[in-house]
Amino acid sequence: MELCFFRHGDAEAAAGADEARELTARGRRESLAVGEALRGAGVSPGAILTSPLTRARQTGEILEEVFGVGAEAEERLGSGCGLGAIQDLIAERAQEQVIFVGHEPDMSRIVGELIGSARVRMKKSGCARVSCESAERGAGTLIWLVSPELLVSE
Task: Express each pLDDT in 12-68 by its tens digit.
Answer: 887 766 777 899 999 999 999 999 999 999 999 999 999 999 999 999 999 999 999
Radius of gyration of the chain (CA): 14
154, pLDDT greater than 90: no
CB of 5 within 8 A of CB of 107?
yes
| pLDDT value of position 152 | 66
- Average pLDDT of the segment spanning 97-110: 97
CA angle 10, 111, 126 (to 5 degrees): 25
Map out the domains of the chain as residue ranges: 2-150
**Residue range 113-143, pLDDT digits in tens:** 999 989 999 999 999 999 999 999 999 999 9
Q: Is 83 exposed, middle or buried (0-12, 13-18, 19+ CB in 10 A)?
A: middle
Topology (CATH level 3) of domain 2-150: Rossmann fold (3.40.50)
